[in-house]
């Protein structure tokens, strides 16, 4: 279930032994929660946790087109996992377009379908065709909100404990200037991330998750030890 940013703030104050918000007010904690959210977003995307998986709506691709730039790609896209094509208006199934590091030189432009695509300078480049096509893109999507008020909702499943510990670690280090507490809280955040990733792995593989030593490193601002 979604939960408000205020739930994270309450958890942080409990961890910081500041239940009446003498030092760790909502306003003080807000930027650290946004940092923790960006950290979590990077971890989710890097591990391809299914909550970040998305498929675009149909993208018209007229004959002679050779690229899709960032303004034409789906909002929130961070990585393309596959692009599929079919003839526009047909009842055919979509076919996966092979990806290449670079596009090959083509002497014959009288080609019905895209033969391959490449990701270059944040633009999806395609071999040209003389056919109107429809494309669909499978991609990893950023799902991280920017928190501006305590009532803002966070829709990331099982993320409350990670965000509470990670926000508290950042606040302990930068506001409370308590390196020992910050390091301890950050270790708890690592454990919560391990649980999130483990649940995702179990769901994808339909096998029990075996615990392993922590190897995770936070992707955001590191807490010195």
What DSSP string runs through 13-81? Answer: HHHTT-TT-SS--HHHHHHHHHHHHHHHHHHHHHTT-GGGEEEPPPEEE-TT--EE-TTTSPTTEEEEE
Closest CA to 38 of 149, 162, 198: 162
Neighbouring residues of 56: CB distance < 8 A, sequence distance ≥ 6? 73, 74, 135, 136, 137, 138, 139
The residue with tokens 């790609």 is 73
Instruction: Judge contact between 190 and 214, C-beta under 8 A.
Output: yes
Q: Report the pLDDT value the prediction gives residue 211, as an integer from 0 to 100.
A: 46
Tell me which residue has tokens 């508290």: 168
**pLDDT tens per residue, range 98-107:** 999 999 887 6
pLDDT at 107: 67
At 23-50, the pLDDT tens digits run 999 999 999 999 999 999 999 998 888 8
Can you give the pTM of this predicted structure?
0.76
Judge whether residue 221 has pLDDT over 60.
no
- The ranges assigned to domains in the chain are 3-49+144-205, 52-141
Q: Which pLDDT score is estimated for 116?
A: 95
Residue 129 DSSP SS3: coil
Question: How much of the chain is in helix, strand and coil states, percent to nearest 5?
Answer: 35, 20, 45
pLDDT of residue 89: 93
């Amino acid at each position: 279930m979604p939960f408000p940013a205020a739930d994270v703030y309450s958890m942080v104050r409990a961890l910081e032994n500041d239940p009446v918000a003498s030092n760790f007010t909502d306003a003080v904690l807000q930027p650290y929660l946004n940092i923790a959210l960006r950290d979590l977003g990077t971890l989710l995307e890097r591990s391809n946790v299914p909550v970040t998986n998305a498929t675009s709506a149909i993208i018209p691709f007229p004959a002679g087109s050779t690229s899709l730039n960032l303004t034409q790609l789906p909002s929130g896209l961070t990585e393309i996992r596959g692009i599929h094509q079919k003839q526009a208006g047909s009842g055919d199934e979509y076919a996966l377009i092979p990806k290449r590091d670079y596009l090959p030189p083509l002497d014959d432009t009288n080609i019905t379908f895209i033969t391959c695509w490449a990701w270059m300078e944040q633009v999806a480049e395609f071999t040209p065709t003389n056919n109107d096509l429809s494309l669909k893109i499978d991609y990893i999507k950023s799902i991280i909100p920017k928190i501006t008020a305590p009532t803002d909702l966070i829709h990331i499943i099982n993320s409350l404990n990670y965000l509470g510990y990670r926000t508290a670690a950042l606040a302990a280090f930068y506001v409370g200037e308590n390196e020992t507490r910050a390091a301890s809280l950050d270790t708890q955040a690592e454990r919560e991330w391990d649980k999130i990733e483990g649940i995702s792995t179990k769901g994808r593989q339909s096998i029990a998750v075996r615990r392993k030593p922590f190897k995770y490193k936070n992707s955001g601002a590191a807490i010195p030890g």
